[in-house]
A and B are shown apart, each in its own frame.
Chain A
């Protein structure tokens, strides 16, 4: 069935056209599949890069024992590529930890980290005592208004301490749960309590005791602000009690957080007191330091409050260095994350 010379067979043409159409279709499908494969891989890479950037920030924050209060950038390797981590100091208590990951594109993440700074916290307290309810005139007369300033502090520690003596109402916007001490900065009262050593009893007398020649480590050994027991002169308590606490006699210093009422009965205590309920001074009690009080301040005849920010600063600084330090950095719940 060979066609005569000069006459084309249409079957051949038809078959060729069909093959051409099928080839074009197959090519289109192949291109589509390849495009998808590339898009899928790119999406996967981008997602991995985003999480990598976040993971770098987490890794950096977890590795922080304390805030590095210095701007800096360093290169890091990440399993998906190269990147860098940067610290940007925004304020003495705030650092922005930023990360960048380069891997077929760039992803950035950042976490805002806050850590308590003793000097800033003490400087931010407006008066010797902050209270939830305004005290009576007799109590006000027993809160000594003296230009405490930064006397007794190291020169570079507490800025702007002058005018700190006196009583002020707490910020009404600051709320804390019943049975919880007031917080400090962004550290809530319960978070502070969780980082302090619990007292064994709700009633006690703080006194400096020696363990051999060194200062003892008992919960009611709150150091010796008088200096009579030289080995305990530098010891600062960092303790808390969830309910009402009564301190009868004795001397001591440090950070004391109480969920309920705190009664100082003839006791001499220095440092920083965080009291969820009322703060009551009776007999010849003396408070030398600063107090944040959720309820009322009552200072009986013979008792006195001497506003001393330096004592509060020393107490807070010591507490910031204990086993579960108050100054441990943490990422703020929000942003916490910034993604660019």
Chain B
């Protein structure tokens, strides 16, 4: 009887082990698949949202256009409303603004678009940024904004304003490039491309193009079989 008991116990045990192992393996596979799909969903969610924010208000084929590597654009990073002239400042090349934006302007990365009192605009290179201490702006800047003194270099080639017209609004832009390969990536200036999402995309089949005014974004999960492309609509909010 003892041998029979052992045999039966072993058979039942191995049977249970096999079933359990199978269930565990399938569950783990399902978990991995779900994780991969959830990462893909995250990419599908994040990518158009970022592009929509960045392209809002930008003019197709003027502010953004096709690039062999992706979508090249002038990226808005912040804006400052004039609070007043800096003490002793050259009004042609300097202004104090109440700044609000994604980050502080940086001279080696950013250009400025100046809006003058007559409505005309000009583009200049940012020369220096000085953060004013509390009270230095004489309270003229709007609450919640950061008082900055911005100084720029006149860029004659890009200038579009009449000389002497007072600057009333400054917008800060950087040159950037969005691309899709194994991940959704961003490149600032001439730097390296940094991933904004996890690398779950098929670089050969995913694409991001300017598409003649309406961005074309197709995301394909790596390893997806057949026509697994997800075409994502990007609302730019701009209808020329």
Contact = CB atoms under 8 A, between A and B. Distances in A.
Interface of A: 1, 9-11, 14-15, 18, 21-22, 25-26, 28-29, 32, 36, 39-40, 43, 46-47, 50, 54, 88, 90-94, 96, 108, 110, 112, 114, 120, 124, 171, 173, 185-186, 332-340
B108 to A, nearest CB: 23
Contact of B38 (A36, A185, A338, A340): A36
24 contacts: A1-B9, A22-B27, A32-B38, A40-B45, A43-B46, A54-B237, A88-B81, A90-B168, A91-B117, A91-B119, A92-B117, A93-B118, A93-B119, A94-B115, A94-B169, A110-B79, A124-B118, A186-B120, A334-B59, A334-B63, A335-B76, A338-B57, A339-B76, A340-B102
Contacts of B57: 334-339
A32 B34 CA distance: 9
Given A40-B45, A90-B82, A339 B27 contact: no
Contact of B171 (A29, A50, A124, A335): A335
Contact of B42 (A28, A39, A333): A39
Q: Which 10 pairs from chain A and chain B are nearest by CB?
A: A337-B57, A91-B117, A90-B168, A18-B20, A186-B119, A114-B119, A25-B27, A11-B13, A335-B57, A338-B79
Contacts of B16: 11, 14-15, 18
Interface in B10-38: 12-13, 16-17, 20, 23-24, 27-28, 30-31, 34-35, 38
A165 B83 CA distance: 35
B20 A43 contact: no
Contacts of B115: 90, 94, 112
B232 interface: no
The residue among B12, B57, B82, B171 with the most chain A CB atoms within 10 A of its own CB is B57
A334 B64 CA distance: 13
Nearest to A11: B13
A92 B59 CA distance: 26
Nearest to B41: A36
Nearest to B143: A73
A335 B49 CA distance: 19
Nearest to B45: A43
A132 to B, nearest CB: 18
B12 A29 contact: no
Nearest to A89: B168
A193 to B, nearest CB: 19
Interface of B: 5, 8-9, 12-13, 16-17, 20, 23-24, 27-28, 30-31, 34-35, 38, 41-42, 45-46, 49, 52-53, 56-59, 63, 76, 78-79, 81-82, 100-102, 115, 117-121, 142, 160, 162, 166, 168-169, 171, 237
Contacts of A11: 9, 12-13, 16
B31 A28 contact: yes
Given A40-B45, A47-B49, A32 B117 contact: no
A7 to B, nearest CB: 11
The residue among B38, B41, B59, B101 with the most chain A CB atoms within 10 A of its own CB is B38
B31 A29 contact: yes
Contact of A96 (B24, B52, B166, B169): B169
A18 B13 CA distance: 12
Contact of B160 (A28, A110, A173, A339): A173
A93 B119 CA distance: 8
B34 A332 contact: no
A90 B38 CA distance: 47
Nearest to A21: B24
A25 B53 CA distance: 37
Contacts of A112: 115, 169
A288 to B, nearest CB: 26
Contacts of A25: 24, 27-28, 31
Contacts of A14: 13, 16-17, 20
Contacts of A93: 117-119
A14 B23 CA distance: 14
A10 B31 contact: no
B20 A94 contact: no
Contacts of B8: 1
A22 B23 contact: yes
